[in-house]
Every structure is written in structure tokens, then in C-alpha cells.
């Protein structure tokens, strides 16, 4: 069924407030989920609401938590998400970095005791829209085994980069997880009773599987084999160790109401491109884009996402009937 973006936002807020989330926190979460839905990222959109609401009700997520920031250096800020949703903490991080970076040239925000931060590109795009180059990293509950291992230690550990393109163009946003597929896509497939490709995941016995539920009980395959597992390790250092948060295998699931709290970490870096590039950043970005687009059959990352966003702004988003009925019941 079709909902306008306004209707989707209001429904998401209602579900979260009913579960015990403060209106301000619910609005921050809804903004991010509806944006993901509009961009065609259903695995990071409205499908997350039932699990989010259940975790608020169980106390696994503190829906009333207010993130706080502490400046730990001239260009560094630590944000305590206080076991609440990640989105209010990340909005605070964006505001802090947007204020600091034009003065310091580069700045960093470390977010601790956090939760699922949705589509990573959402956060770097907010900074790129302010003229900054941004990098974002997050760890997540264990899903990837170290090279040669069978037990998951690392999360799918997404990485995102956002950069302004100038001349009224939308920012360049690159967003990827370090697993072959995002775990959220497997969750959606499990909800719909659909099979998954055989190269996405292993079951609990370490065998390739097309069964989404078996995959959720097993491990995700990293991109690039051992190199992808090593990159997941790098992100774990940047987000768990550097922020003082839970390592992937210590973090509670994003999908279930029971168990320990996730308490994961995020790291966001922002750069003022003008001074660092000697003023050459816009022309260098334009030259790179021209070289890529000059190849037959190539495109810049995000073109499909932006087209879907424009369409959703006009026509709304399609929500599976069963999910919509569930959400209306929760609201």
C-alpha cells in the first residue's frame, strides 16, 4: 500500500511514541527510516519499526534517552547515546562537527553506547550538504567470522563517505557494508519467506545457504574474503575500541527484544575540503566524475537512489500490506 512521506513519518512516530519513546527521539528515528524508505532501502526503513518498538518496550533501548556531548579536544567530541537510539546521537554529532570543522579543518565525533544507525549514507550526506567531506563508521552485532574462523566476532560494520559536488549538484554518497549483503536484507527476506542468493551467508554449520532464517542463525560472508574480514576488524577498532563501546560479539541483537543491550559505537570524521585541497577540491571532484562518466556504461554511485527519492517525494512509498497492518496495530 502507498503512503506519502508525511504519512509514513507520522506512522513511524506514532509506533515509537506508543512503545515509550519520547516525541523528539521518535521524530529523529522517523526522519532516518522514512529517508531510507524513500531511497529504496527498505531493509533500513519502516521494516525496522517492529523490532525498534519491541526493544523500547523491553528496555533494551531507552526511548527517553537524551544524548550528551563532551568536547575532549579542540576538534574532538565524545557523544554518549546513553543506550538510546543512534539517530538523535548522530544528529547531535552532525551539529557538533558542522560547527567545529570550518574552524579546525578536521574534526571527529565518537559515539558510544549506541544502537543501529540505519543507512550510513544518511549521516554523511547531512554533512556533505553543509560543504564538508565526511566519513562514518559503525560496528554492529557479530555477523562475520575472522578469516579462517567459524564463529562471528565482527559486525557487518558499514562505512560511508559523503562529499559535496558543487554547482547545485547533490552530494556524492558512497555507503557499503563489509558483508556481501546487508544483514537487514536477509531480515526482510526472512520476513517475506523469500530465498537469498547462495553467496551471501553461511548457516550455523558453516555451510552456504539460501534460507534467510538459517542465514540469520549463521554468519555473513565478508566482501573480498580475508581482506573484507580484515577491514571489518579495522572498523571494529575505530568504533568499539576507540569509543569504548561493545565489540561485535558482545553486542545484543538489533532484531530481538530480549538479550543484552547493543551498546555499539560509531565514529564520524569531517573535513573542510577548501583549505586542505588548496582550493582545488571542486575541480578535482569534477575531473574525477567526468573520467568515470566518460566510460561506457558507468555512473556515479547514488543515481538510482536519488531517482527513487525524487519519485517518492511526489508519489510516496509502497509498504507491504502485512507490515503496514502490523505498524498500524502497534500505533
Q: Does 50 map to a domain?
A: yes
Number of domains in the chain: 2
Helix runs in the chain, H state only? 5-19, 23-38, 49-58, 86-104, 120-128, 183-192, 212-216, 226-236, 273-277, 281-293, 303-315, 321-330
Query: What is the span of the domain harbouring residue 44?
Result: 1-64+302-331
Q: Does 264 map to a domain?
A: yes
Q: Does 201 map to a domain?
A: no
Query: Which DSSP symbol is given to 241?
Result: I
DSSP states along 180-229 = SS-HHHHHHHHHHT-B--TTSEE-TTS-B--BHHHHHTSEEPBTTTHHHH
Q: Are residues 166 and 59 in the same domain?
A: no
Q: Are residues 143 and 241 in the same domain?
A: yes
Q: Are residues 274 and 293 in the same domain?
A: yes
Q: Are residues 19 and 151 in the same domain?
A: no
Q: Are residues 105 and 243 in the same domain?
A: yes
Instruction: Report d(CA 32, CA 61) in Å as an integer.
Output: 17
Residue 283's DSSP bridge partners are none
Instruction: Report d(CA 112, CA 268) in Å as an integer.
Output: 12
Q: Does 191 map to a domain?
A: no
Q: Are residues 116 and 163 in the same domain?
A: yes
Q: Are residues 296 and 316 in the same domain?
A: no
- What H or E segment, with its residue span, contains residue 114? strand 106-114
Question: What pLDDT was estimated at residue 87?
Answer: 98
Q: Does 20 map to a domain?
A: yes
Q: Are residues 51 and 109 in the same domain?
A: no
Contact assessment for residue 178 and residue 144, using Cβ atoms and an 8 Å cutoff: yes
Q: Are residues 136 and 79 in the same domain?
A: yes
Q: What is the pLDDT along the chain (331 residues), one digit of tens a residue?
A: 999 999 999 999 999 999 999 999 999 999 999 999 999 999 899 999 999 999 999 999 999 999 999 999 999 999 999 999 999 999 999 999 999 999 999 999 999 999 999 999 999 999 999 999 999 999 999 989 888 877 889 999 999 999 999 888 999 999 999 988 877 788 888 888 899 999 898 888 888 999 999 998 888 889 998 999 999 999 999 999 999 999 999 999 999 999 999 999 999 999 999 999 999 999 999 999 999 999 888 999 999 999 999 999 999 999 999 999 999 999 9
Cβ–Cβ contacts within 10 Å for residue 280, how many? Answer: 12
Q: CATH no. for residue 317?
A: 1.10.1530.10
Q: Does 198 map to a domain?
A: no
Q: Does 207 map to a domain?
A: no
Q: Does 205 map to a domain?
A: no
Instruction: Please indicate, yes or no, whether the overall pTM of this predicted structure exceeds 0.85.
Output: yes
Q: Are residues 59 and 74 in the same domain?
A: no
The burial of 278, by beta-carbon neighbours within 10 Å (0-12 exposed, 13-18 middle, 19 or more buried), is given as exposed
Instruction: Report d(CA 102, CA 187) in Å as an integer.
Output: 40
Contact assessment for residue 119 and residue 46, using Cβ atoms and an 8 Å cutoff: no
Exposure on the CB side of residue 302, measured as CA atoms within 13 A: 20
Q: Are residues 173 and 237 in the same domain?
A: yes
Contact assessment for residue 8 and residue 46, using Cβ atoms and an 8 Å cutoff: yes
Q: Are residues 24 and 50 in the same domain?
A: yes
Q: CATH no. for residue 164?
A: 3.30.1370.60
Amino acid at each position: 500500500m502507498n503512503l506519502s512521506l508525511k504519512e509514513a513519518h507520522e506512522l513511524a512516530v506514532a509506533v515509537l511514541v506508543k512503545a515509550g519513546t519520547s516525541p523528539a527521539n521518535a521524530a529523529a528515528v522517523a526522519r532516518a527510516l522514512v529517508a531510507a524508505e524513500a531511497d529504496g532501502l527498505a531493509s533500513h526503513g519502516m521494516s525496522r519499526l517492529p523490532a525498534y518498538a519491541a526493544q523500547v518496550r523491553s528496555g533494551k533501548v531507552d526511548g527517553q534517552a537524551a544524548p550528551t556531548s563532551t568536547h575532549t579536544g579542540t576538534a574532538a567530541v565524545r557523544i554518549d547515546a546513553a543506550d538510546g537510539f543512534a539517530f538523535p546521537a548522530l544528529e547531535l554529532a552532525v551539529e557538533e562537527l558542522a560547527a567545529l570543522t570550518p574552524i579546525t579543518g578536521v574534526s571527529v565525533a565518537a559515539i558510544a553506547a549506541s544502537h543501529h544507525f540505519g543507512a550510513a549514507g544518511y549521516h554523511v550526506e547531512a554533512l556533505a550538504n553543509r560543504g564538508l567531506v565526511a566519513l562514518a563508521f559503525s560496528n554492529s552485532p557479530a555477523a562475520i567470522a575472522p578469516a579462517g574462523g567459524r564463529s562471528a566476532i565482527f559486525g557487518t560494520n558499514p562505512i560511508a563517505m559523503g562529499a559535496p559536488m558543487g554547482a547545485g549538484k547533490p552530494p556524492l554518497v558512497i555507503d557499503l557494508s563489509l558483508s556481501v549483503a546487508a544483514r537487514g536484507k536477509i531480515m526482510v527476506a526472512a520476513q517475506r519467506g523469500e530465498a537469498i542468493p547462495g553467496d551471501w551467508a553461511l548457516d550455523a554449520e558453516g555451510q552456504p545457504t539460501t534460507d534467510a532464517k538459517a542465514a540469520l542463525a549463521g554468519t555473513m560472508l565478508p566482501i573480498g574474503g580475508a581482506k573484507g574480514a580484515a577491514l571489518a576488524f579495522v572498523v571494529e577498532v575505530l568504533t568499539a575500541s576507540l569509543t569504548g563501546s561493545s565489540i561485535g560479539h558482545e553486542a545484543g541483537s538489533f532484531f530481538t527484544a530480549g538479550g543484552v543491550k547493543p551498546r555499539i559505537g560509531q565514529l564520524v570524521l569531517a573535513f573542510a575540503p577548501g583549505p586542505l585541497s588548496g582550493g582545488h577540491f571542486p575541480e578535482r571532484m569534477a575531473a574525477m566524475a567526468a573520467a568515470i562518466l566518460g566510460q561506457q556504461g558507468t555512473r556515479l554511485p547514488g543515481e538510482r537512489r536519488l531517482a527513487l527519492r525524487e519519485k517518492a517525494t511526489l508519489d510516496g512509498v509502497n509498504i507491504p500490506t502485512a507490515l503496514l497492518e502490523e505498524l498500524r496495530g502497534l500505533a
